[in-house]
Structure 1
Amino acid sequence: MTRRCPWKKRSTPPPAAVPPASRRPTSFVRGEHEFHIVGYNARAALANNAHYSILSGAFKVGGHNWALDCSFHDDGHLASIALLLLTAYITDDAVVAKASLKIEDPLGRWPAAVWESDEAYTFHVWSGNSWQLSQAGRSWTLPVPEAFRGHESRYVQDDHLTILCTVEVLRAEEEEESAIAEDMQKLLFLLSEPKSTTPACMLPDVTFVVEQAEIQAHRLVLAMRSPVFAAELLGDMREGTTRHVMVEDMSASTFRAMLRFIYTDELPIKGKTTNERGCKQKCAARRRVDMALDLLVAADRYDLEKLRLMCEKILSESIDTASVIPTLMAVLGRHSCRQLEASCIEYLASDANVYANIKATEEYKELEDSCCSFLANVMDKVATSGVEDMTLAPPPNIVSHLEQLLVSEKGADVTFLVENKEIHAHSLVIATRSPALYTMVLATNQEEYIVPVWGMRVEVFKAVLRFIYTDELPPFEEIALAAGHGVTTIAQDMLVAASRFHLDRMKDKCETMVGECVSERNVVIMLRLACRHNCKKLEDYCMKFN
């Protein structure tokens, strides 16, 4: 008996294994699946004089569902292992993947039987103007590892065989954060060039006075990104109510550069260039180090962990005889900069000539006259130097901070009423990310500032808010479970909500999910839904579904 996928009745010639060209940056997303075949010998015996296959459970890699289909010769030996692409509704022309197989001896007596693809394979699921749901187009036959052939007994223990399949799926680099970053940059531009049509909630509401320069910003954005700013601007401190905040011991240029990072997650320091030579290159490197030092101090002051790590990386890669002492002076004693301090100490202790060259610098001579205790401290650390690897893993970014803001409800100034339940949010985020939803806020009685949302399940609205704050949707199964309805119903509701609030990126995601739910029983309903909300791909899919 052969287990078949729903589309196996159709067939087309197998596609060429050539990856398509891509206009967007791509990378492979990796995942693994262990296929445990219990009763292996008994199942293999069923292939006597007939084709027989065993289908694994579905697993997910790279946003697609996959399965393994093990086929047997009529003599009961494993013939091939096919990788099946199960995802029914796919918006891309093709899916490109690599694969490898590994079968180990459970007792460790023999080397593992291994096979891996030399090149990527292309699953053609879209051809011309029609959807190809063929088994041939969605099946990639993988050879059985050579070491396994003729030696099955080595790898089958207690009538149990385990096949480890690794799948790597080529995906265009996600732009999940690009829309968030773009919207946050709009707020940054408003600091210097506010427009007459800008909603009041999007205008800057706090001014910092730095070196007699007035620099405007949004309290909510700063508080979301920095716990220090959160305490100052949204807490009980005096700055929480005043519109002007004095900043001492920091230059205006450094404060502006820090603000740029807060709004964009980008380091406002130009990278190294190769077209500059001699004196110009040295001057550029010096400016780069100086700015990194200033921003490091600012990051430490306002607890901007990601900015601090980025600056530490620049400084640790730039340590030389000219920069090591200024860097040490900036970080010595700062608990959060221990790794950079250790890198400087390691550099000083690396060679006697290095330390001799440093002692000859003007900075060192000045320190001998003014900061003897500092040098003594440095020398103690040099004598007992030992350095751990630099931690480069970035901490939370803008998206995760927005998600934390939504969960905490800190600074929330608008309340939505959905199915008699209150949901709190922030008008600045709503106005920036969904003007259509903010229009509903403006139309509400300003005294109460409670916005009723009719004709929508509360679980669906919460998912909409999560997308507005993060550009991500929770699993539809999770929403369906909370709402007490099926995934198909929730997928349709989500598509309607995305269309209602003009959230095009969310609409694309929901259109794909609705396409997964199309069946012979509901195809007419789905077609009407697609036409009503101008979902062209879903409409085309439904028209050709049979």
Structure 2
Amino acid sequence: MASPSANSAAPIWIKEVTAGSFKFEIYMNEYPSFESSPIFTFGGHEWRLKCCINYSKDVHLLLELISDADAVKATIEFRLLEKNGGLSWAYQRVTHTFSSKARLTDMALLRVLRRGLHPEIYVTNGCFYVLCTIFIASDTTKVKPNHSSSGLPSDSLIEQLGDLLKSKNISDVTFEVDGEIFNAHRVVLAARSPVFMAELFGPMVEGNKKCIKLEGMMAEVFKDLLHYIYTDKIQDVGTKFNQHLLEAADRYALDGLKKICEDRLCRDITLDTVVSSLGLADQHNCGKLLDYCLNFAAKPENLLQLTLRQEYLELMKNCPSVSAKLSERASASLDFKKIIYKR
């Protein structure tokens, strides 16, 4: 598609489309501005990207559903692209249920970069590029084994996908994780994770790259991550493993797995795990886990012991927001006040 002229009335253009990823070219003509892209189709629905740049040059993006629909649940990721086409660290991801009454993403203006666009990195000839990845979730129900009139069990999709993962049949992508090789299927990964959708089918993907090396993850964690993607199940493991698995779930936008790990960590809070779980909850935006950890740590008998631990002191120093919340929670405790008054 040809680039528009400087006087074009629509300075947002779709440059490339691959599966659920759309590369937008956005022209910066003046400030403030509020522009819309041409309407495009994905997942049987019509959409439109809107971009707002205010006086401070803050850039906000939002996705609008044009089609009439009752409930379209989608995860959207906006990511800035660098001049060389590489993916930038500047991104935002949100899950929203679109409908005729809620056509826009629930974050009215989704902030991509707080102050300016750093022209030397992102802007070329007065425009910058954004990769928008959309993953539309379909309603799923767990398949329960049942029996036909012959008494034989019927086929289970979950079991068949699990067998497919084990057999390695028709796998078309491999991952190297911590020295181990894992075989998988691109379409299955992309259907479950918008991040895998972008990494495996996005416009920046190298077509002949069949082995992907992942850094910063243990092989056992990735193995369980794959098992969940194919079967909706994970093994019953300890706190440390669940913490690593939660990080992996957040990395690949697997909200269901993230919730399972969060629930397990809430159940297993002790003096030995609460500090690491507090830091994890703050880093990965786990509200429930953060609340459980704060309640546990704010108990006077627990707080007095935690203050003697080096890991606790380091967390309070490095995460001032957690320190402030814990101080507030502890100050509100009647038992804590009684201890102070007795002194």
TM-score normalised to structure 1 length: 0.31
Quick check: which one's strand share is greater? Answer: 2
Report which of the two has the higher share of helix: 1
Asked which structure has the greater CA Rg, the reply is 1
